[in-house]
Structure 1
């Protein structure tokens, strides 16, 4: 693991975003899937079953909560890289404070173009294509 990834892990532990991610994993995943280490110092929690958020995968701190089995995500390096960029965003944007910022940006994106990602700067900086998103035009252009 690179030094920058280790630093991200430390910052996300101190800002409490990774502990929050582990708490969500404990509350929202099937115990059979468990936690799996992923490249870049990420932790994959498979079997996420709570209804919110509706995304197939989402990140809190260094924890990627995934609706499928962890091995399934490990076979999707682009999506894993996308989620790793979100982990870095938690380190840069004051940990759990990123959650309300993200929600506001998702709401603006939904109003502008009809989806939560196209005009959400967090998703755009994480790589829309890597996250499996298609960029949509603003509603006033269609």
Structure 2
């Protein structure tokens, strides 16, 4: 009887220990935050945005150089495109009119660094650089004269 009680106690303690050490995402800013997680397992997922913009004079200049369409590449993939004549803003605002806002999802860190390119007609690279996109926020890329 004492042996059975001992094994039952050990089994109960193991179950309690396992439930106390639940792994998961412990960052409340993450898309997949788990309030029951007690231990971080680096599975946190985030969504952030990068937005590209230029003023009307730059848009006109790109158009006059023969670039009627702009293609946006983030992380090695062309993710969107727009007509150059509709790509202009007096002040860039994430999600605003005349800007290109591109959402990106990533796991692990709460920010992620991406290589980006903007390509014109014939897929000519007009601009390129790196941007760090914070989870839950927007990163800005303003395009100047080519």
Common fold, TM-score beyond 0.5?
no
TM-score range, shorter chain: under 0.3
More helix by share: 1
Larger Rg: 2
Q: For CA contacts below 8 A with separation 6 or more, give which structure has more relative contact order.
A: 2
The TM-score with structure 1 as length reference comes to: 0.26
